[in-house]
Chain A
């Protein structure tokens, strides 16, 4: 299926799995998050940052006991860029080329920190300087 703008709203695990077989079709940034009360606003902000930069994304809830969320996300993303969100509201941005050392990491963050992380993930993919 050719990529269309409407796909921003279809980002979920099911879509990501389908795309995994057809990697050529759609590149995306992957976000793996720990599902906990209070995570939704953070995810909404990350998504806003990515969407404002027009970069496709896919969200995926972490399995119980899963570690290295961001690093795993970057390895699974066709764009090699991933974000991890853990239960302590720590968010980290990874690029698979740089291994398991995060490009950016922020601890116990709030909505604006999450938004900036989303933007920076988009900027990393597009070759724009990162912002604070």
Chain B
């Protein structure tokens, strides 16, 4: 009888399965452990986490290192991935011609058109002239209202106002004629004076109609057809706003620049194809499938995508100690997404959604130096170490311990860096495939969709459900149910969208987005990566590429623990006649510990 440990070093976690193995072939599993992996997978630093995990597993059953006779280490899949994103459109508004920050308390209602005029200059305006008054923070609302009323009494047509402070309602309440007022304009100094301008405020719950319509703006300023075409991006940026200001300056330019994102070249066994990034993610995926197996993917030098691919190649070259030119990218996943970008030349820090493309790339390297790691473990513990087993095969063997499974069996290993699939046939033959695009790409997409600077927050939004704090005592959950508390919630959480973390911890997400938008961004990001990749991966390992031949698929890996990803995949696969479910390794571990378990099971 030997006490054997299977050790799986992953990108994010290191797992151990500990068992007594008898000469009869019987295996009694004793315990398991999981710790975060120290250092990049495949480097000697990993030994720290290996030793910690072994210690955890041994201590659980009151054993010590002395008692352990053999360590079986995974032959870590030499697959490394990276992700990057580039915008492919850019909106530049020069000459400060638009205000679209949508303050929460604009004043009045309707559309006002006139010439921009300082409050201080109001007295010199002739009766009958139409003006839009510009008020900086030096003027209080009482004084401002008086001054405007005075001008109105003189016969001046005050048609609207632009205010630096948050005073629009206060001012409008005191006016003898109600006008649309946009406030909280921080950079009021940059509002051009003595220029034609239009101010529009819609009713609460409604959005502007004239200034979000290029023909509306054209009507207001009597634009030519060419000028109207030029202002389309501005109108687009104002869609959905409750308030807006457009100013026609002498030489104002609004450009929607298409950044030449560039050409992606995909080289495969069946040929070489150039894809323009602007053709979209679907086309890129199509080309990648058509040219299987892929030899290399690179971008046109001097373009955005060229720059992206170069950055990825350099990063991967460093990781694997190989020259950058020798890096061959074996798989890419492209995802069309939107990114919130600040509008260049904005007056109130406005943001606009720009199109972007995100790419995940994956390389196969030469065997990772697991021997070094094995040597170090042996020298630190004195225990024999074997490097055994192709990771994918070990994963399948482990997955087979899920109650209800049999051969042939396919697995989906949903990780942080890559999405892998493996299959064992009735006769015990293995096939496996590794694809770019997994947990890390999902986090990146969530961060860009919600304009999050903090990656940790994006990661948390990925992992935890959200809720909205509706009162001091209750929160509204995603499914509409309400949760009541018998103690008042912290004022810091009031009316905010929060994450429901472990141990009842509630954390505000820190960005001003409604709950529905957060849920949408989270689910879409997971779909675009994991659902697409699950289909891609299974198609590659099934003999004829027809996934309907698969009866049963088991999902394992870190991302299989996610609260909604496995269901999304099951849902999609069920439409192809496949039953898919989260694994339950040895009937107790859930989707975890598959490889470590497989390493023990394959020991003879």
Contacts and interface: CB of A to CB of B under 8 A. Distances in A.
Interface string B368-394: 000000000000000000000000000
Interface in A77-132: 95, 97-99, 101, 103-104, 119, 123-124, 127-130
Interface stretch (B74-82, B466-474, B585-593): B466-474
B488 A51 contact: no
Contact of A98 (B170, B470, B472): B472
B511 to A, nearest CB: 11
Contacts of B141: 48
A124 B492 CA distance: 11
Nearest to A53: B105
Contacts of B170: 48, 51-52
A37 interface: no
A103 B141 CA distance: 28
A41 to B, nearest CB: 11
Contact of B169 (A51, A101, A129): A51
B173 A51 contact: yes
A22 interface: no
B168 to A, nearest CB: 8
Contacts of B1: none
A52 B168 CA distance: 7
A33 B474 CA distance: 31
B494 interface: yes
A50 B473 CA distance: 23
Contacts of B105: 52-54
| Chain B facing A: main interface SS | loop
Nearest to A52: B169
Contact of A127 (B169, B173, B471, B488): B471
Interface residues of A, number: 21
B173 A5 contact: yes
B495 A54 contact: no
B495 A123 contact: yes
B413 interface: no
B495 A98 contact: no
B472 A54 contact: no
A104 B488 CA distance: 13
Contact of A130 (B104, B166, B470, B491): B491
B472 A95 contact: yes
B167 interface: yes
Nearest to B167: A52
B495 A129 contact: yes
A8 to B, nearest CB: 6
A103 B169 contact: no
Interface in A35-58: 48, 51-54
Contacts of B495: 123, 127-130
Nearest to A47: B170
A129 B104 CA distance: 12
Contacts of B168: 52
Contacts of A99: 488
A25 B491 CA distance: 29
Interface string A1-31: 0000100100000000000000000000000
A98 B493 CA distance: 14
Interface residues of B, number: 20
B472 A52 contact: no
A53 B169 contact: yes
Nearest to B493: A129
Nearest to A6: B173
A93 B104 CA distance: 22
Which of B167, B472, B508 has the largest number of chain A CB atoms within 10 A?
Answer: B472
B166 A127 contact: no
Contacts of A127: 470-471, 495
A52 B488 contact: no
A5 B172 CA distance: 11
A129 B166 CA distance: 16
Nearest to A54: B169
Contacts of A98: 472, 488
Contacts of A130: 491-492, 494-495
A103 B491 contact: yes
Contacts of B472: 95, 97-98, 103
A72 B105 CA distance: 29
Interface string B11-43: 000000000000000000000000000000000
Interface string B467-506: 0001111000000000000001001101110000000000
A127 B470 CA distance: 7
Contacts of A124: 494
A19 to B, nearest CB: 20
Nearest to B141: A48
Contacts of B173: 5, 8, 51
A53 B173 CA distance: 12
A51 B472 CA distance: 23
Interface string B72-109: 00000000000000000000000000000000110000
Contacts of A103: 472, 491, 494
Contacts of A51: 169-170, 173
A5 B175 CA distance: 12
A53 B167 CA distance: 10
Contacts of A119: 166
Contacts of B104: 128
Contacts of A97: 471-473, 488
Given A97-B472, A127-B470, A104 B169 contact: no
A54 B107 CA distance: 10
A114 to B, nearest CB: 14
B8 to A, nearest CB: 44
B570 to A, nearest CB: 37
30 contacts: A8-B173, A48-B141, A51-B170, A51-B173, A52-B105, A52-B166, A52-B167, A52-B168, A52-B169, A52-B170, A53-B105, A53-B169, A54-B105, A95-B472, A95-B488, A97-B473, A98-B488, A99-B488, A101-B488, A104-B491, A119-B166, A124-B494, A127-B470, A129-B494, A129-B495, A129-B496, A129-B508, A130-B491, A130-B494, A130-B495
Interface of A: 5, 8, 48, 51-54, 95, 97-99, 101, 103-104, 119, 123-124, 127-130
Given A97-B472, A97-B473, A130-B494, 17 more contacts: A5-B173, A48-B170, A51-B169, A52-B166, A52-B168, A53-B105, A95-B472, A95-B488, A97-B488, A98-B472, A101-B488, A103-B472, A103-B491, A123-B495, A127-B471, A129-B495, A130-B492
Identify the 7 closest CB pairs spanning chains A and B, nearest first.
A98-B488, A129-B495, A52-B169, A103-B491, A129-B496, A127-B495, A128-B495
